[in-house]
Structure 1
C-alpha cells in the first residue's frame, strides 16, 4: 500500500518552518529572539529567588539580611538544624531522580538528555535553596539561581516544542542570565555559560547568550541597583617583585581548592544513608561551628567585604576559611540544595587576605594590601574549584570594577587551577560523579548544534513489502533517493532505487514475470530504519545508529491512517559528510 503526505494548515506550517529553521546551526535571528525571552524569564525568576530569602532575613535579623553574627548562640545553632529537618521532610517525598540540583545536574542533562531539564527538580531547587539560605546554612545563592535559569529556559523551549539543539543554547542563555541577575556581572555570566556549560566558543552561541545576560542584568539593576557587589578602593601591586610571592599564593590556593574538591567527593560517598539523616548531620555541623564562627553562615558577602577592606585579623581569616571549607563542602556533598560559588568567594577572600597579611609581615611596606590579595584569592579559588579560569577572572573584574587586579589575577588563577587539576585529577567540582565522557569532543559539540530536520532527506517513496510488478516502473519515475519499505507493525527498511531497477532489468529477460515483487527479498542492500524524534539533534541520531548497530534512522512524525510515520531519512554517511 502507498502512503499519503500529511497536510497541515498555514499557521502550523509557519510554526513548523520556524522550528525547522532552528534545527540549523546558523539560525542566528531565531536564537537571538529566544535569547532575549530566556533572559527576561530567567531574570524574573532569579530576582524572585533572591528576594525569597533576602526580604525575610532583612526583617528577622537584627542588622540586615546577613547579620547572623548578631543572633544569640543558641539561635545560630538551632536555625541550621531546623532548616535541615524541614528540608529532609520535603525531600523525603521526592523520587531520587527529582532530587538532583545544581550545575552538575545541568551538565548531566546536557550530556545525556539533550538539555531537557525537568520542572520538579527546578521547584525543589527554588524551595530547597531558599530554605537553606533562610536557615543560615553555609551555601551560596548563585548555584540555585543558575539551575533555576537553565531549567526555566529549557522548559520554555520544551513548551514551544523546539528542536533539542536549540535547547542547548537556551539552557546556556538561562545560565548566563542567572549569573548576570545574581551578581550584576553579565560578561562573567556569558563566559561561565560558554566555558562550563556549553564548553565551546562560537559566534552563533555567543550572541543569544550575550542578549540573555544583558536582559537579565538590566532586570537585576532595575530591582537591586547598578552598584558593584563589593565597594573597595582601587588597589594594585606595590612592586613587580611581588610576582614570585603571588606564585606561591597560587600554589597555596590551589592546595586549598584541592582540599575542597576532594572533601566534596568524599562527602558524596555517604549517599547510601537516608537524606534526612544526612541533612540533619549537615545542620548539626553548621550550627555547632556557627556558635564560635558565625561568619560562615548565609551567603557571607559581609565577610567578603570585611576581608577586602582589611578589617579582619589573621587568625580570624584563617579560621573562617578553614571552617567554611569543611562546613560548605560537607553540606553540599551530603546533598544540601545550595550553591558553591558564594562559599568560593568567602574562602578565597579570607585565604587571600591572610596571605596578604603574611606577605606584609615578611616584607613590611613592600607588598600589596591584604584587600588586594583577598580580591586575587577570590578569583583563584573560583577558577580552580569550578575549572573556569576565564569566567573567574572576568567575575572578579566586574565585581570590583578594578582593572589593576587583572595581571596578578591571571597569574594566580592559572597556577591555582593547574595545581588543583593535577592534584585532584578532576576537571572541576561539577564533574564529580558525572559521566561527561565525550561531552567536550568536537564531534559531540558540532552534531549537538544541529537538528535532524536540517539534514534529513525527503526525496523518497513509500510502499509496502509486496509491490505489484506493473507498478514498479511507476515507483521509479520521479527518481527517488530511497525506497522506504514499511508495513504496519513491521520494521522499516530502505532500499536503493538502483537495486530495484536492476532487478526489473533482469525480469525483462524472463518469460514468466511474477505478479508482485517482494522488496525485502530482491537482491540489493537494505538498511533497517530506527526512529528518532523530529526534535532530536544529529548527535542523538548518530547515537541511535551506534546503539542499534545500524546505518540509517528515520525522523518520526505523528501518523494518521494512510499516512506514513517517516518524515525524513538520515544515513550514517550523511552525518559523516556533514561533519567532514
Structure 2
C-alpha cells in the first residue's frame, strides 16, 4: 500500500505542472475541452487563439504522463483545430473555408491518435460541421488519410489488441440490455463531469483550487488504482480475459481475484472514473472525457457479460460486449453515435461487430 501513495502523488504533481503552465505562461487563456471549439465556430467566425496550437500539447502531456485520469484526445482535437484555424487566418480565407480547415485539423487529430480516418471524418461531420456540404468531404478525407499514414509511420502500435469473436443472433437481447445500461451510465457520467467542472470553473485559478481538486484525486487513485492514467491498459487486459489488474494493489486486494472483488472494483471504476477525470481538469490539468468514456464503457460491458456468464444458462462473448459498451457510453457522452460506432470498429478491427455496435 505504501507504493500506492507514491503512485497517487504523481497525478497531483502532473496537474500542478499543468496548473503552473496555465497560470504563468498562458495566463488562464487556454480553454479546455471540445466545447470552446464549437463556440469559436458559432460566435468567433471559427477563429481560435494561436496559444491553442501548442498550449494543449504542453499541458496535456504533463497531465497524462504523470497519471492524470483523463485522455489526450480532446487536447489533440483542440490542437488540430487551432492549427487549421490559424493557417486559414494566415491565408486570409473566408469563414466557410476557415471552418473547413478547423474541422480538417480536428478530424486529423482523431485519425492520428486512433489510426481511424473514417471515425475522424465522421467526428468532424457529426460534431463540428453543423452545416455540412458534399465538397467538404474530399479535404476531410485527404487530411485524415495523411494524418493516419504519418501516425502509422511514427507510432504503429495498436490501441487494443485482442482476438475478434464472431457474434451470434441469440445475443441480440443482451446487446439491447447493455445499450440501455450504457445510456444510463452515460447520463450519470455527463452529469458528474458537468457538476464538478462547473463548480471548479467558478473558482480562481490558484494553489487552493489545485489542492481542492488534486488531493481528492490522489485519495481516489490510492483507493482505486485503476483510475490512474487514461485506463486503456486496463481495457486491453479485460479484452484478453485478464482480471488481475482490476484488484491488484486495491482496497479489495485481500479478497483476491474473487467474483465479489472483480464486480466490486468494476462498480467503483464506473462510479468514480468520471469523478477523477473531472477533478483532474478542475484542479488545473488538461484532458478530456473521451478516454474516460471509453474506459467506463469497456468496464460496463465487461461487468455485464461477467455477471451474465456467472449464471449456468448463458455464455456470451465478453470481448464483444466490452467493445459494445465502449461504443455505447462514448456515443451517449459525446452525443455522437456514428463516431462511436466507426471508431470502435476501426480501433478494434471489429467490423464483424458492426451490427451489435449499432
TM (normalized to structure 2)? 0.88
Deviations 1:224-247 (A, max 9, x none): 12x542111111334x23222222
Deviation for aligned residue 1:393: 0.2
Query: Residue in 1 aligned with 2:175?
Result: 246
Query: Residue in 2 aligned with 1:194?
Result: 125
Query: Residue in 2 aligned with 1:229?
Result: 159
**Ranges in structure 1 where 5+ consecutive residues have no aligned partner:** 1-68, 411-580
Question: Does the alignment pair 1:339 with 2:288?
Answer: yes
Q: Which moved more, 1:194-203 or 1:303-312?
A: 194-203
Alignment of 1:133-148 (within 5 A): 133-148=64-79
* Matched positions, count: 337
- Secondary structure of the 1:236 match is coil
Higher relative contact order (CA 8 A, sep 6+): 2
Deviation for aligned residue 1:201: 4.1
Task: Report if the CA contact (8 A) 2:14-2:285 is conserved.
Answer: no
Query: Residue in 1 aligned with 2:239?
Result: 308
- Secondary structure of the 1:275 match is coil
Question: Does the alignment pair 1:73 with 2:4?
Answer: yes
Task: Report if the CA contact (8 A) 1:137-1:283 is conserved.
Answer: no
Q: Which has the higher strand share?
A: 1
Alignment of 1:157-556 (within 5 A): 157-225=88-156, 228-238=158-168, 240-270=169-199, 271-276=201-206, 277-312=208-243, 313-332=262-281, 336-362=285-311, 364=313, 366-410=314-358
Task: Report if the CA contact (8 A) 1:139-1:342 is conserved.
Answer: yes
Question: Does the alignment pair 1:125 with 2:56?
Answer: yes
Change (3 A) 1:200 1:373: farther
Deviation for aligned residue 1:333: 5.2
- Secondary structure of the 1:101 match is coil
1 CA distance for matches of 2:282 and 2:332?
Answer: 18
Deviation for aligned residue 1:95: 4.2
Change (3 A) 1:331 1:78: closer
Task: Report if the CA contact (8 A) 1:265-1:333 is conserved.
Answer: no
Change (3 A) 1:177 1:298: same
Query: Residue in 1 aligned with 2:248?
Result: none
Change (3 A) 1:378 1:110: same
Root-mean-square deviation over aligned CA pairs: 2.0
Change (3 A) 1:201 1:228: farther
Deviation for aligned residue 1:85: 2.5
Deviation for aligned residue 1:348: 0.7
2 CA distance for matches of 1:298 and 1:233?
Answer: 25
Q: Which moved more, 1:307-316 or 1:377-386?
A: 307-316
1 CA distance for matches of 2:87 and 2:198?
Answer: 35
Deviation for aligned residue 1:335: 5.7
Task: Report if the CA contact (8 A) 1:101-1:121 is conserved.
Answer: no
Task: Report if the CA contact (8 A) 1:308-1:374 is conserved.
Answer: yes
2 CA distance for matches of 1:108 and 1:363?
Answer: 52
Task: Report if the CA contact (8 A) 1:84-1:280 is conserved.
Answer: no
Task: Report if the CA contact (8 A) 2:10-2:66 is conserved.
Answer: yes
1 CA distance for matches of 2:312 and 2:50?
Answer: 55
TM (normalized to structure 1)? 0.56
Task: Report if the CA contact (8 A) 2:64-2:72 is conserved.
Answer: yes
Change (3 A) 1:209 1:360: same
Deviations 1:560-580 (A, max 9, x none): xxxxxxxxxxxxxxxxxxxxx
Deviations 1:17-57 (A, max 9, x none): xxxxxxxxxxxxxxxxxxxxxxxxxxxxxxxxxxxxxxxxx
2 CA distance for matches of 1:400 and 1:82?
Answer: 33
Query: Residue in 1 aligned with 2:253?
Result: none
Q: Which moved more, 1:276-285 or 1:335-344?
A: 276-285
- Secondary structure of the 1:269 match is helix
Deviation for aligned residue 1:376: 0.4
2 CA distance for matches of 1:183 and 1:133?
Answer: 16
Deviation for aligned residue 1:334: 5.7
- Secondary structure of the 1:161 match is coil
Deviations 1:175-209 (A, max 9, x none): 11111111111110010011001134432111101
- Secondary structure of the 1:92 match is helix
Alignment of 1:14-29 (within 5 A): none
Deviation for aligned residue 1:299: 2.0
Deviation for aligned residue 1:80: 1.6
Deviation for aligned residue 1:278: 3.0
Task: Report if the CA contact (8 A) 2:196-2:275 is conserved.
Answer: no
Deviation for aligned residue 1:361: 2.1
Query: Residue in 2 aligned with 1:573?
Result: none
Deviation for aligned residue 1:291: 1.6
Change (3 A) 1:318 1:255: same
1 CA distance for matches of 2:175 and 2:350?
Answer: 18
Query: Residue in 2 aligned with 1:481?
Result: none
